[in-house]
Each structure stands twice: as C-alpha cells, then as structure tokens.
C-alpha cells in the first residue's frame, strides 16, 4: 500500500490502490490498467497481498461504522480512492486533455502531458502512467526545481528574501553572461536517469556576482525542463497550452524565462498554489455527483488569470544557450560516475 491507500484502508476496510499511483510500483501493466501477472509471478509475489486497482475518482466504500460513531457522523461518508500527487495536481490546474500541459515548479520540476492513448518513450526517459481522468500521461521530472533556488537563497546565502534575489537576477541580461548552472543537486531523472551526476556553476569569472548566479539557476532549471518538453516533442505530443503551478510560479521573472526557453506562452491559474489538493477535491466532488464530469468541474472551478508571452529576441538567445547547456552533461557524467 502507498500512504493514501493505507489511510483509505483504515477508514473503509478496503484494500486498494488507484491507477496513477499503481503505475509507479513497477508491478502494473499500465496500458491495460491491471496488475502485471508476468512481473508478479517472476518476483514470487502473492496476488492476495495486492489490493484491487481503482480509478482515482471511484468510490471504494464508506467510513466504518465504529468511526462514524466515534466522530459523530450520521450519514454515510464516502471514501474516494484519490491519486498520485502529479495526477491530482494536473486535475487541479485543469490539464486533463491532450495538448494541455501541467508545468509544476515545486520542489522538483514536472512536465505532465495527458494523452488519450498509452504511449511510451522507448529509451525510458519519460514516465508513462495512467492519469486520474481515465486516460494516460507522459511525465518528465527534473529533481531540483524550486528547491535549487531555495538551496541558493536559504542554505548558501542564509536569507529568506526571495524578492531581493529575484530583483538581482532581473538586472542581468538573458544568458547570465555565459554562466551556466547544472541543477543536478540530487542527481537527475529526466532525461538522464543518473543518480550520480552532480550540479555546478560552469563558466564563473570575476565579473559574475550573485545576480548572475541567481539568474543562472533560474535558467538552468528552465533548460532542464526544456529537456522534458523536447522528449514530448519526440512523441509528437501537442503543447497547445502550458499551465504553471507550484511555488516557483510566484516569480514573474522565472515564468518569463520559462516562456522564453520553451518558446511558448505560460499560463498562470488562480489555483496555482493548490494544485494537488484542489485536484483531490475535484474528483471527490465528481464522485459525489456535484459535477457530471471532471471536465465540467475543472471548467467551472479553475480560472486562467495571467499569460506570460515569450520574447522573440530572448527565444533566439536561449536557443543558443540551451544548445551549449546540453553539451555540458556528457563530459561531466564520467567524472561523477
């Protein structure tokens, strides 16, 4: 059981798991949304120890009678299965159809692309999972997203003044005077799948100061997320709309950098800081018949409040910087392996 599944079990007595979390167990036939008989038998796992697989918005049961009495509930309380953080976060920002991308800039950076059909990156650089809306998604993850900026501001500079560092970076021209930051502070997932690679500043000179270094961090994370978008492009997935959420979305500068690096508008929504929790609330409301579908709920609840458009001039600057950034990985990977 994953944590939420154990809670659901204690509340309802039902042993289950949802399709989005189950996709990450490596025990699932994701395409068919079932346990993988071949893998489970090969590992000698008892099928009876595995719970039933549910869709995220399914009602799996009701609150146990003894808990109803303990907490003073008179009516039956429905228990809805729920889902993984990114699957729920995508619903919470309205990324529920192919072409609408969830860009979550939290502790990690996540690019989440819903798909109508099961697709897979044959080099296994993207996650191919079930989503919380009855379909599938492709997901790329850079392990150090906003946490890279937190490390720089709080741990290195012993500060909490993010606005100060944001303003220092704002005064620096795109490209950070040829200073690069590799955001591999705890290894990297997409596209490298390398737990040994390490982060670093490349190209430091006496002319660089905290403003350059701060902007290089913002750009380095953006380049890593660009890696994720490039892999989606390889699968011919559309990027009609990019919806941003997470703590990093509070920075207008970072959103501008992302728009310029990715080359697409970045849309901020009114629930940018509440994605996964709101996604859970939405599927619960649908399960309780307050809305006819997840699509209807998202349309009525989630509002787009601001769009950050890319600068044509900056797109060209970052196109060149990104190509140089990509060349830094290969010579360094062997140093850390």
8 has a pLDDT exceeding 90: yes
Per-residue model confidence (pLDDT) at position 143: 96
**pLDDT surpasses 90 at 271:** no
Q: Is 330 a catalytic residue?
A: no
The span from the CA of 18 to the CA of 84, in Å, is 8
What is the per-residue pLDDT across 272-308, written as a single tens digit (0 to 9) for each?
Answer: 678 899 999 999 999 999 999 999 999 999 999 999 9
Look at residue 336 and tell me whether its pLDDT is greater than 90: no
What's the rounded Cα separation, in Å, for the pair 261 and 269? Answer: 20
Q: Are strands 100-105 and 241-245 parallel, antiparallel or unpaired?
A: parallel
Catalytic entry in 5, 18, 21, 85 = 85
Model confidence band, residue 111 (pLDDT cutoffs 50, 70, 90): very high
- 306, 249 in Cβ contact below 8 A? no
Residue 238 banded pLDDT, cuts 50, 70, 90:
confident
pLDDT tens string 13-46: 999 999 999 999 999 999 999 999 999 999 999 9
pLDDT for the residue 275: 81
- Spell out where the chain has E strands: 16-18, 28-29, 34-35, 52-54, 59-62, 78-80, 100-105, 109-115, 127-130, 136-142, 180-182, 200-202, 241-245, 266-269, 304-308
Identify the pLDDT of residue 228: 97
* 332 prior amide bond cis, ω within 30: no
Q: Mean pLDDT across the stretch 321-332?
A: 96
CA distance 107 to 185: 12
pLDDT band at 224 (very low <50, low <70, confident <90, very high): very high
Q: What is the pLDDT of residue 23?
A: 97
Distance CA 188, CA 195 (A): 6
pLDDT, tens digit, for every residue of 142-199? 999 999 999 999 999 999 999 999 999 999 999 999 999 999 999 999 999 999 999 9
pLDDT digits (tens, 9 = 90+) for 64-100: 999 999 999 999 999 999 999 999 999 999 999 999 9
């Amino acid at each position: 059981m994953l944590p939420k599944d154990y809670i659901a079990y204690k509340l309802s007595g039902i042993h289950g798991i949802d399709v989005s979390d189950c996709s990450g167990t490596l025990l699932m036939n994701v395409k068919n949304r079932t346990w993988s008989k071949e893998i489970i038998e090969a590992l000698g796992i008892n099928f009876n120890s595995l719970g039933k697989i549910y869709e995220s918005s399914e009602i799996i049961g009701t609150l146990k009678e003894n808990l109803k009495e303990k907490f003073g509930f008179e009516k039956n309380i429905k228990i809805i299965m729920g889902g993984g953080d990114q699957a729920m976060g995508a619903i919470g920002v309205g990324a529920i159809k192919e072409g609408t991308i969830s860009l979550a800039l939290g502790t990690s950076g996540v690019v989440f692309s819903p798909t109508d059909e099961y697709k897979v990156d044959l080099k296994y650089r993207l996650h191919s999972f079930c989503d919380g809306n009855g379909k599938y998604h492709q997901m790329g993850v850079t392990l150090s997203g906003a946490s890279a900026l937190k490390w720089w501001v709080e741990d290195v500079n012993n500060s909490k003044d993010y606005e100060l560092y944001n303003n220092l970076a704002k005064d620096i021209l795109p490209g950070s005077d040829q200073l690069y930051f590799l955001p591999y502070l705890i290894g990297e997932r997409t596209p490298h799948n390398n737990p040994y690679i390490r982060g670093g500043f490349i190209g430091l000179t006496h002319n660089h100061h905290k403003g350059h270094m701060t902007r290089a961090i913002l750009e380095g994370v953006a380049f890593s997320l660009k890696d994720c978008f490039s892999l989606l492009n390889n699968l011919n997935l559309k990027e009609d709309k990019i919806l941003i959420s997470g703590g990093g979305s509070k920075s207008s500068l970072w959103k501008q950098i992302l728009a310029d690096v990715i080359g697409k508008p970045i849309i901020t929504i009114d629930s940018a800081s509440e994605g996964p929790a709101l996604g859970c609330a939405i599927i619960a409301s649908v399960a309780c018949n307050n809305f006819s579908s997840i699509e209807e709920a998202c349309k009525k609840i989630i509002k787009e409040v601001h769009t950050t458009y890319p600068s044509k001039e900056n797109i060209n600057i970052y196109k060149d910087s990104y190509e140089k950034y990509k060349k830094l990985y290969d010579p360094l990977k062997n140093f850390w392996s």
